[in-house]
Structures are given as C-alpha cells and as structure tokens.
C-alpha cells in the first residue's frame, strides 16, 4: 500500500508576533502577584509541595506549574480563560500563552 505523499510546510517560527495574547501581555502593565511565593490552590487542598510557580498576567493569580502534582496554573487557565502566565521563579521572565501553546 502506497502512502499518499504529504506536502510538509515548515512550522511557523516561534515568535510573539503570531500570538495576540502575548503581544497584549507585553503591552499592558503586569498584574500584581496575589498571595506571594506560594500556590494558594495547593494550600487550599493541603498540598505542601510543588515544583515551580507561574503567575497569571491577567489577574495576578499565582499557581503551580505542570511539573507539580496539581498543575494549578493550567487549571486556572481552564477555569478563568486567562491566556498568559509568566514564570514566577527568581531570574525567569518568560511568558507562556496557553491559547497558542507558545512562549513569548
Ligand atoms: Zn498548586
Ligand atoms: Zn488569571
């Protein structure tokens, strides 16, 4: 059986230009972090450990990353629809758009 030939196109270069959420997040003043250096959602369920923290640029919600047991940052995106989180780790300033799964 012969497989149909599929024309491959190069994937778009990763850049904030294709992601309106990241552009908007870069232009707007950053939200103030709510709750300090811990995941409030983990505290609420009695979880003491998480890997890294992310902060929602829309509302300042601080939550744990996808390497943590509860993945509260992703859960916050699903609950709220807020599109962009940034790293809340010292020395890290990258942003992540959940809508386009894109770094910015
Ligand atoms: Zn958490
Ligand atoms: Zn939010």
Structural domain containing residue 39: 29-103
**In the predicted structure, residue 2 carries a pLDDT above the cut 60:** yes
Query: Would residue 20 count as lying in a domain?
Result: no
What is the CATH number for 51? 3.30.40.10
Query: Would residue 16 count as lying in a domain?
Result: no
* Structural domain count of the chain: 1
6 CA → ligand 2 middle, Å: 40
Q: CA angle 60-64-22, nearest 5°?
A: 50
Query: Would residue 11 count as lying in a domain?
Result: no
Which residues, at least 6 apart from 25, have a Cβ–Cβ distance to it below 8 Å?
Answer: 57, 83, 84, 86, 95, 97, 104
4 CA → ligand 2 middle, Å: 45
Query: Would residue 82 count as lying in a domain?
Result: yes
Around ion ligand 1, residues with a beta carbon closer than 5 Å are: 39, 41-42, 64, 70, 72
Cα Dmax for the chain: 60
Q: Tell me the pTM.
A: 0.79
pLDDT tens for residues 47-76? 999 999 999 999 999 999 999 999 999 999
The Cα 2–Cα 20 span in angstroms is: 41
5 CA → ligand 1 middle, Å: 45
51 CA → ligand 1 middle, Å: 9
16 CA → ligand 1 middle, Å: 27
**Residue among 13, 39, 11 nearest 104 (CA):** 13
What is the torsional sign of CA 97, 30, 57, 49?
positive
5 CA → ligand 2 middle, Å: 44
Query: Would residue 24 count as lying in a domain?
Result: no
Query: Would residue 78 count as lying in a domain?
Result: yes
């Amino acid at each position: 059986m012969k497989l149909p030939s599929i024309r491959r196109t190069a994937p778009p270069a990763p850049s904030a230009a294709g992601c309106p959420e990241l552009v908007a997040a870069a232009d707007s003043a950053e939200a103030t972090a709510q709750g300090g250096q811990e995941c409030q959602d983990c505290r609420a369920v009695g979880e003491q450990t998480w890997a890294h923290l992310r902060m929602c640029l829309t509302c300042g919600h601080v939550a744990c990353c996808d390497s943590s047991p509860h993945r509260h940052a992703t859960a916050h995106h699903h609950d709220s629809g807020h599109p962009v989180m940034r790293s809340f780790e010292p020395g890290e300033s990258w942003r992540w758009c959940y809508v386009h799964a894109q770094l910015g």
